[in-house]
Amino acid sequence: MPGDVNFGLNFGFPPKTAYACMAETMILALEGRYENFTLGRDLTVKQVEIIEQLARKHGFKLAGFRSFERALTPEEIAAIKANATAKQRGEGEKEFENIDKVLETTYN
């Protein structure tokens, strides 16, 4: 989040970090666009490009991937990508075991 932001709530994130849906709402308000820009899973590449351009304009940056209120490590992201690729190939079970091992060591 740009500027000196204090939401007055603890989302479990580092300072100046918000949920993407909240950031999108703030960005659209800064632009005077009071609309349902993205809703649910029906996103287009064009919508993503537009919101990314507006985010840069207003000083917003991506904070990285999070799950259960903590940052994901590069190893976890790699395991998730491998799992998705394996599932697309019909090899999901083998790769799914690998992600369980990565997450188990991280959460325990």
d(CA 62, CA 71): 12
Q: Rounded to the nearest 10 degrees, how much is the dihedral formed by the CA atoms of 65, 44, 96, 71? A: 0
- What pTM value is reported for the model? 0.64
The model's pLDDT over 18-36, given as tens digits with 9 standing for 90+, comes to 888 899 999 999 999 999 8
The model's pLDDT over 59-72, given as tens digits with 9 standing for 90+, comes to 999 888 887 778 88
Does the CA dihedral 45-15-69-23 come out positive or negative?
negative
**Domain chopping of the chain, boundaries:** 1-63, 66-107
Most confident range (mean pLDDT) of 23-27, 73-77, 80-84 is: 23-27
CB 23 within 8 A of CB 57: no
